A = this chain, B = another copy of it.
Amino acid sequence: MGRPDRSAGRRRARPTGRRPGNPDTRESVLAAARAAFGERGFDGATIRGIATAAGVDPALVHHYFGSKDKLFLAAVEAPVDPDELLPTVLAGGRDNLGANAVRMLLTVWDGPARPAGLALIRSAVGNEWTAKLLREFLVARVVRRVVGSLGYPDEERDARGSLVASQMIGLVMGRYVLRVEPLASASHESLVAAIGPTVQRYLTGEVELPRR
């Protein structure tokens, strides 16, 4: 084993599935991406702008990360890709969306992603910038896609989504961070039965929408 070699030649020797690209360039792009997503949000940030800020060609960003979605997941160090999980949540149809969303949340958090999820929450609570990124992740990548499947106008979609977020974040905080009993050691199915109806009401039920 020699000294670490950051030259481009090293990249070729990497097995498939490893993080691609020159580590320094990759980190520059990720730093620029965090700044852009935090400042302008997921929708407002562009690959082109991030590439310019990092001093690289946009094609290289595409080559390294594949898409703005994947770049965002890498930037927030998301432990899971919501796009891979959402089809399962949506598959049960409109009337099961609340229960299936709670079940998926519990499955992810009681799986190998938990340490990374806790690290993300710790960072977000202590740091305004990470809080913005986590909010973007929740809103643009998770909640908006679930609620977006229901065909509401944007304003109602976001209002219902923010209510859903409040219950889901509280479930994570109560069960995994503060460990309030019996929430912390309850079975998935008992929590789906208790909290699923709340999320379902926020998604499709009669509910006063949060407004100024």
A residues with a Cβ closer than 8 A to B are 121-122, 124-126, 131, 134-135, 138-139, 158-159, 161-163, 165-171, 173-175, 177-187, 190-191, 193-195, 197-198, 201-202, 207-212
Residues of B within 8 A of A210 (CB): 182-183, 186-187, 190-191, 194
Residues of B within 8 A of A181 (CB): 158, 162
B212, A183: Cβ atoms under 8 Å?
no
| Extra A-B contacts (5), CB below 8 Å, given A126-B126, A165-B170, A182-B210 | A169-B173, A170-B171, A183-B210, A194-B209, A194-B210
A-B contact pairs, 13 of them (CB 8 A): A162-B174, A162-B180, A163-B195, A166-B170, A166-B173, A169-B178, A183-B210, A186-B211, A186-B212, A187-B211, A190-B211, A191-B210, A197-B207
B169, A193: Cβ atoms under 8 Å?
no
Closest residue on chain B to residue A184 by CB atoms: B162
How far is A109 from B144 in the complex, measured between Cα atoms in Å? Answer: 27
Closest residue on chain B to residue A168 by CB atoms: B170
Which 3 residue pairs across A and B have the least CB separation, nearest first?
A: A170-B170, A186-B210, A193-B208
Residues of B within 8 A of A185 (CB): 212
B182, A212: Cβ atoms under 8 Å?
yes
CB distance from A155 to the nearest CB of B (A): 8
CB distance from A205 to the nearest CB of B (A): 9
A131 contact from B162, B169, B178, Cβ within 8 A = B178
How far is A178 from B168 in the complex, measured between Cα atoms in Å? Answer: 13
B194, A207: Cβ atoms under 8 Å?
yes
CB distance from A107 to the nearest CB of B (A): 16
Residues of B within 8 A of A138 (CB): 178, 180
CB distance from A139 to the nearest CB of B (A): 6
How far is A124 from B173 in the complex, measured between Cα atoms in Å? Answer: 10
Closest residue on chain B to residue A173 by CB atoms: B169
